[in-house]
């Protein structure tokens, strides 16, 4: 086979996006150029790699197998590029950072400061839950990840860089919002709006409920913090969320953070990377930056004297 790394990148992006148009937008190519690259790859491989229906592209059986090897080859190329960069000690090139959804409320501001100090580094962000980020690290598609709970069954290096408080959130009109203190037992009859089971926020909630032997009703499960905040503000129920996801609404009086027994539940933000991976100079620069600046940045953004 005579396939280029550029063609492999196009193939992997079409597989990720599920469409030629989506891949073209990410890669800054025209759809015909993407289609031509895919056709060339399929010709070289000798198999149809995608099933095409209504402009959607889904991997064929051969495509699923080929995707494994394409990612492996691209990962090896990235390791080679990082190794050559280390020889020159260049803080340049592309840096891909994965983050859980709760980190999007503070990480972009940190990245803006980082970019000011390291303008030659091209930073890309990948968003996903904890399981998705572990898969990206395993596939060598991200250099570093920002998450709460570090992986358990994946060999990684996790370094805490800031406190990560989780709090009960209610509508401003909720009776808890005006209480001086709320006992944990009072939550037993509250309707809870929760994140999906794979999320760190859901795990934190379950740990708190188990500790206090509470079994409230979960009336709704939502895959995003934004949707949960809207439901809470509408008075549909209460929720346990990262304090770092509700700063704007809390400061604006749109959401309440009542003082509840045993809360805030204090976790830690971690910067995580694959244990066996030797970081590029760009990745090392960001790792050092977030370990040095992360705590103070979050404190400045979210600390306040009271709700």
Q: What is the pLDDT of residue 15?
A: 94
Mean pLDDT score across all residues of the chain: 90
For 186-202, the pLDDT digits (tens) are 999 999 999 988 788 89
| pLDDT at 243 exceeding the cut of 90 | yes
pLDDT band of 82, cuts 50, 70, 90 = confident
| pLDDT at 58 exceeding the cut of 50 | yes
| pLDDT at 306 exceeding the cut of 50 | no
Q: What is the pLDDT of residue 228?
A: 96
| pLDDT at 90 exceeding the cut of 80 | no
For 226-242, the pLDDT digits (tens) are 999 999 999 999 999 99
pLDDT band of 88, cuts 50, 70, 90 = low
Tokens of 33: 């150029």
Q: What is the pLDDT of residue 265?
A: 93
Q: What is the pLDDT of residue 93?
A: 78
pTM of the model: 0.67
Average pLDDT (115-127) is: 91
Q: What is the pLDDT of residue 200?
A: 83
Q: Rounded to whole angstroms, how far apart are CA atoms 73 and 11?
A: 12
For 261-295, the pLDDT digits (tens) are 999 999 999 999 999 888 888 898 899 999 999 99
């Amino acid at each position: 086979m005579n396939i280029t790394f550029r063609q492999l990148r196009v193939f992997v992006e079409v597989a990720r996006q599920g469409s030629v148009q989506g891949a073209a937008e990410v890669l800054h190519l025209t759809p015909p150029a993407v289609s031509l690259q895919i056709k060339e790859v399929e010709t070289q491989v000798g198999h149809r790699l995608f099933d095409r229906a209504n402009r959607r592209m889904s991997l064929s059986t051969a495509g699923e197998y080929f995707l494994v090897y394409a990612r492996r080859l691209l990962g090896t190329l990235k390791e080679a590029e990082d190794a050559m960069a280390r020889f020159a000690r260049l803080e340049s090139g592309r840096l891909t950072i994965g983050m859980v959804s709760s980190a999007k409320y503070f990480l972009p501001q940190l990245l803006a400061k980082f970019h000011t100090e390291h303008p030659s580094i091209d930073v890309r962000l990948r968003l996903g839950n904890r399981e998705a980020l572990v898969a990206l690290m395993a596939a060598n598609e991200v250099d570093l990840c920002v998450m709460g709970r570090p992986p358990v069954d994946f060999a990684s290096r996790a370094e805490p860089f800031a406190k990560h408080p989780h709090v009960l959130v209610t509508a401003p009109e909720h009776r808890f919002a005006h209480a001086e203190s709320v006992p944990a037992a009072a939550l037993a009859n509250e309707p809870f709006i929760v994140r999906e089971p794979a999320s760190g926020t859901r795990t934190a909630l379950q740990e708190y409920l188990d500790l206090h032997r509470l079994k409230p009703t979960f009336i709704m499960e939502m895959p995003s913090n934004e949707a949960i905040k809207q439901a809470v503000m509408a008075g549909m129920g209460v929720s346990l969320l990262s304090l770092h996801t509700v700063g704007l609404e809390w400061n604006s009086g749109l959401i309440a953070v009542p003082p509840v027994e045993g809360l805030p539940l204090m976790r830690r933000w971690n910067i995580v990377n694959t244990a066996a991976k030797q970081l590029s100079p760009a990745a090392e620069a960001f790792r050092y930056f977030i370990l040095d600046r992360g705590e103070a940045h979050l404190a400045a953004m979210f600390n306040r004297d009271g709700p």
